[in-house]
Structure 1
Amino acid sequence: MATYRRAYIPGGTYFFTVVTHNRQPLFTKRQNRDALGQAFRRVKAKAPFVMDACVLLPDHLHCIWTLPQDDTDYSSRWRDIKKHASRNFLLPAKATGTWQRGFWEHVIRDEQDWQRHMDYIHYNPVKHGWASAPNNWPWSSFHRHVKKGWYDQDWGSNDTPSIADIKGE
């Protein structure tokens, strides 16, 4: 069995994919979305980070974080977010867990890599067939970024962005 080595860069920016156990669609329930939001706020209050982008889908989420300078500990943050959210999740009767073990991370290398992963995050609901365009998916940072002028409201509505080669799940 191969040993996976995580990359820890002080003050680094990372792309993450986190998946529910057995791909249960836990985030279709408002209570679970709210519990996850509360967990993020709780962890960020104790161990700050900047969340550049995020999208929440029924059975997984993607986000980009930037850690404080000299800080490399995203693993503890994810452990605590999962732990705190799970305590308040509403689970199906036959559920055997809440989260897939671990998570997938990628170190963002430069501005172009950051933009490609931002696009991947915001186009993900369309990719999975949950929305016809990024602006039609409510659980995404896309709307905040449109307000900032980073994206046009109709971005991804007519043309597929060139993000097909990104491995995020």
Structure 2
Amino acid sequence: MPRYRRWFVPGGTYFFTVNLLRRDSCFLVEHIDNLRAAYRDAARRQPFETVAICVLPNHLHCIWTLPDGDSDFPGRWRRIKSDFSRRLPRTADLASGRRRGERGIWQRRYWEHVITDADDLAAHVDYIHHNPVKHGLVADMDDWPYSSWRRWRRETKSWASPPGSLRGGETE
């Protein structure tokens, strides 16, 4: 099996897809307050800017810009995932096959992509915000409550171009 190599760019802007282990789970939206608290705490401890985000029932997509000189996105994801898991009630229906102290909630790996330019950023922001429509959760992006779409539209007038630079605003 080939070993996956991550590309660490200090101060980089990254697109992420992070999945729950059980694809039939709705934990992320059922426990959105726990996810928001874990996300907020991680950003407070190791700052990053959220350019765009969309939380779906069993996975999430986001774009982060890390501080200059910092490329530790794995530490941030470890913190978010473990903090969210700890916040879930012990009665939550979790997947089996746990090991190393895991609660069996998250897939161990996640997808990341380094954003290379403004066109790449616009394409990934488009993908993130359109995801609830793609998955048939809503007919219109305005109807999905767990997304930065409304903030993005409000700040950009034209949603295909980022506000100012690769550094977006805060999450809703």
The TM-score range, normalised by the shorter chain, is 0.7 to 0.9
- Corresponding residue number in structure 2 for 1:25: 26
One-letter amino acid of the structure 2 residue matched with residue 127 of structure 1: K
Q: Secondary structure at the match of 1:21?
A: coil
Indicate how the Cα distance of structure 1 residues 145 and 65 shifts in structure 2: closer, same or farther if over 3 A, else same: same
Unaligned runs of 5+ in 2: 97-103, 161-172
Moved more, 132-141 or 86-95: 86-95
C-alpha distance in 2, partners of 1:93/1:48? Answer: 32
- Corresponding residue number in structure 1 for 2:137: 130
Q: Secondary structure at the match of 1:22?
A: coil
**1:5-16 → structure 2 map (5 Å cutoff):** 5-16=5-16
Give the 4+ runs in structure 1 shifted more than 2 A.
90-96, 149-152
One-letter amino acid of the structure 2 residue matched with residue 110 of structure 1: D
- Corresponding residue number in structure 1 for 2:147: 140
One-letter amino acid of the structure 2 residue matched with residue 17 of structure 1: T
Shift of 1:151: 4.5
**1:53-132 → structure 2 map (5 Å cutoff):** 53-90=52-89, 92-93=92-93, 95-96=95-96, 97-132=104-139
Q: Secondary structure at the match of 1:8?
A: coil
Unaligned runs of 5+ in 1: 156-169
Question: Which string of whole-angstrom CA distances, capped at 9 and with x for unpartnered residues, describes residues 16-36 of structure 1?
Answer: 00001122221231xx21111
Q: Secondary structure at the match of 2:131?
A: helix
Moved more, 32-41 or 108-117: 32-41
Question: Which string of whole-angstrom CA distances, capped at 9 and with x for unpartnered residues, describes residues 98-136 of structure 1?
Answer: 101121100001000000000000000000000101111
Indicate how the Cα distance of structure 1 residues 138 and 120 shifts in structure 2: closer, same or farther if over 3 A, else same: same
Aligned-residue Cα RMSD (Å) equals: 1.6
Q: Secondary structure at the match of 2:93?
A: coil
C-alpha distance in 1, partners of 2:2/2:147? Answer: 34
- TM-score of the superposed pair, with normalisation by structure 2: 0.83
One-letter amino acid of the structure 2 residue matched with residue 51 of structure 1: T
Report sequence identity in percent: 46
Indicate how the Cα distance of structure 1 residues 58 and 106 shifts in structure 2: closer, same or farther if over 3 A, else same: same
Q: Secondary structure at the match of 1:3?
A: coil
